[in-house]
Amino acid sequence: MDSSSGSSGSTPPPAVCLVSGGMDSAVTLAEARAAGFACHALSFRYGQRAVCELEAARRVAESLGALQHRVVDVDLSALGGSALTTGGAGADAIEVPKDRAAEEIGKGVPVTYVPARNTVFLAVALGWAEVLGASDLFLGVNAVDYSGYPDCRPAFLRAFEELASVATAAGAERGARFRVHAPLLEMSKARIVERAFELGVDLSLTHTCYDPVEAGGRTLACGCCDACLLRLAGFEQAGRRDPVEYAPRSR
Amino acid sequence: MDSSSGSSGSTPPPAVCLVSGGMDSAVTLAEARAAGFACHALSFRYGQRAVCELEAARRVAESLGALQHRVVDVDLSALGGSALTTGGAGADAIEVPKDRAAEEIGKGVPVTYVPARNTVFLAVALGWAEVLGASDLFLGVNAVDYSGYPDCRPAFLRAFEELASVATAAGAERGARFRVHAPLLEMSKARIVERAFELGVDLSLTHTCYDPVEAGGRTLACGCCDACLLRLAGFEQAGRRDPVEYAPRSR
């Protein structure tokens, strides 16, 4: 789970980097490159409401020098259970919470939790890592702001590393040890904003909002869902201005 | 990993059963029902060559009394790396091996191995289990005939159970222990055929072949891929006749 250097040999070792289009995974990809890895970016079309995330992921992967960017379809919306994948209408719809206080956001398992999402994403990343001959996975999880998500915790990442070593031909036959790097795990949102500036990440390319607003042909962040509130607080604490556009009422 | 009874209460406990359309997962579903579970059947559209597997899965789930059957899209073919998901034409195509001797089939990791497939499938099953409030997963893996697949081994199943307990809200917040039942794990193919007859599984509904042949509007098993050869040997050893149709050359 450390982000130790991969640059010991002459050829940069390959790594699979999960890129959602958000700020955290963009900074994680930049950390992987800075650590000397040749990065293969992976995104998912998983039934999320905010499909513009994928366009942001493509821009982020390209701007940060990923060797390639693949989008894999995993239709988690077929299983139900989260405000992020159930539609906005109909009896099963779960509303994205708005304007919650900061101390409320981190508590318990939120309705935006998608059951086993990071387990599914890491499993697919592991499959691609096997094909590429990579044994390093990068994931932009953060234990500070998302303490309510069980699959963002160190115990989860360690258990996945154990699983990977017995789940794969590389691990079971050739003794490969997989590492799940989560360089942002212990960073505050303000620190993540600072790292983005230090690593030259163009945050105007990222998309964070759970519930974006379409206005005049542009996609604006709502500014009041949990993800927007945490992002905005991070910029404020870092003393920086967020370059993405927000819907009028929120600023 | 045991298949201990789930019938202690008055309401049958829910279980998620992976159903591929093949013989092994059909018998596994029948074992889950016989153990007293209310079964929710799960299949995947993962870019497999043999899409008729999904039609077989639907028939099997219905005939064995599953409460529901869901098909989730996970496009593993986007990652490459297996004869089961790469197309039959083009530079990347990997041929399905034919007419191999029985002692050859179990050795090493075969080209039909799909990287991390069972990890991905169990991860999605885990997500559905969370939504359903289930803590039992049933998987038709078999360590005897598929010793070459690392994700069919007991060490893999135990590692997944450990992961599940920290990956989920149910496990991390409420102490739920997930169990991955693999009742066929130590059975020979002949024993699986016998169990099918004992449990009343209609094997004519199942589809096993990796590389089926279309002939006169019917889908015939090839009779010479590894999966067909293992299946046919199992029927022969059990002294039973396989009710599915094979392409002429093979019988």
Q: Which pLDDT score is estimated for A103?
A: 61
* Chain A 131-170, residues with CB within 8 Å of chain B CB atoms: 131, 150-151, 153, 155-156, 159-160, 162-164, 166-169
Tell whether B68 lies on the interface with A, counting CB pairs under 8 A: no
Q: Residue A27's domain is classified under what CATH number?
A: 3.40.50.620
Tell whether B112 lies on the interface with A, counting CB pairs under 8 A: no
Tell me whether residue A29 is exposed, middle or buried, using C-beta atoms within 10 angstroms of its C-beta: 0 to 12, 13 to 18, 19 or more: buried
DSSP chain A: -------SSSSPPEEEEE--SSHHHHHHHHHHHHTT-EEEEEEEESS-S-THHHHHHHHHHHHTT-SEEEEEEB-GGGG---TTTS-SSSTT--PPPBS--HHHHTSS--TTPPTTHHHHHHHHHHHHHHHHT--EEE----TTTTTT-GGGSHHHHHHHHHHHHHHSHHHHHH----EEE-TTTT--HHHHHHHHHHHT--GGG----SS-EEETTEEEB-S-BHHHHHHHHHHHHHT----S-B-GGG-
Q: What is the pTM of this model?
A: 0.86
Whether A235 maps to a domain, the answer reads no
Q: Regarding predicted confidence, which is higher, B223 or A249?
A: B223
Q: Which of A76, A119, A124 sits opposite B163 (nearest CB)?
A: A119
Q: Which pLDDT score is estimated for A104?
A: 61
Whether A144 maps to a domain, the answer reads yes
Q: Which pLDDT score is estimated for B215?
A: 84
All residues of chain B having their beta carbon less than 8 Å from the beta carbon of residue A143 are none
> What is the domain count for chain B?
1
All residues of chain A having their beta carbon less than 8 Å from the beta carbon of residue B162 are 159, 162-163
CA distance B187 to chain A (A): 21
Q: Residue B198 and residue B30: Cα distance in Å, rounded? A: 10
Whether A241 maps to a domain, the answer reads no
Q: Which pLDDT score is estimated for B86?
A: 52
Domain that holds residue A178: 14-201
All residues of chain A having their beta carbon less than 8 Å from the beta carbon of residue B166 are 150, 153, 155-156, 159
Residue B209 · residue B228 · CB < 8 Å: yes
Instruction: Count how many pairs of residues, chain A against chain B, have C-beta atoms within 8 Å.
Output: 163
Q: Which pLDDT score is estimated for A88?
A: 41
- A131·B173 Cβ contact <8 A: no
All residues of chain B having their beta carbon less than 8 Å from the beta carbon of residue A114 are 127
B79: confidence class by pLDDT, cuts 50, 70, 90: confident
Q: Mean pLDDT, 10 residues at a time, over chain A (251 residues)?
A: 51 96 96 98 82 91 96 85 51 60 58 78 94 95 75 92 92 89 94 97 93 86 89 95 86 44
Q: Which pLDDT score is estimated for A13?
A: 97
Whether B96 maps to a domain, the answer reads yes
- A127·B114 Cβ contact <8 A: yes
B103: confidence class by pLDDT, cuts 50, 70, 90: low
The C-alpha R_g of chain A, in whole angstroms, comes to 18
Is the predicted pLDDT of residue B59 greater than 50, yes or no?
yes
Q: Which pLDDT score is estimated for A112?
A: 58
Q: Which pLDDT score is estimated for B76?
A: 83
B236-247: average pLDDT: 95
Interface pTM (ipTM) of the complex? 0.84
Whether A206 maps to a domain, the answer reads no
Which of A125-134, B41-50, B92-101, B158-167 is the least confident region? B92-101
pLDDT digits (tens, 9 = 90+) for B11-26: 999 999 999 999 999 9
CA distance B110 to chain A (A): 10
Tell whether A74 lies on the interface with B, counting CB pairs under 8 A: yes
Tell whether A92 lies on the interface with B, counting CB pairs under 8 A: no
Q: Which two tokens stand for residue B139?
A: 């998987």
φ/ψ (deg, to 5) at B130:
-60, -45
Is the predicted pLDDT of residue B112 greater than 60, yes or no?
no
Q: Which pLDDT score is estimated for B91?
A: 43
Whether A55 maps to a domain, the answer reads yes
B70: confidence class by pLDDT, cuts 50, 70, 90: very high
Q: Which of B70, B74, B172 sits opposite A74 (nearest CB)?
A: B74
Mean pLDDT rounded to a whole number for chain B: 85
Q: Which pLDDT score is estimated for A251?
A: 44
Whether A32 maps to a domain, the answer reads yes
Is the predicted pLDDT of residue B82 greater than 60, yes or no?
no
Helix axes B154-167, B117-132, angle to 10 degrees: 40
Is the predicted pLDDT of residue B142 greater than 80, yes or no?
yes
Is the predicted pLDDT of residue B2 greater than 90, yes or no?
no
Whether B244 maps to a domain, the answer reads no
Close Cβ partners of B87 (under 8 Å, ≥ 6 residues apart):
B49, B93
Among the listed residues A217, A216, A201, A213, the one whose alpha carbon sits nearest the alpha carbon of residue A247: A213
Q: Which pLDDT score is estimated for A32?
A: 98
B91-112: average pLDDT: 59
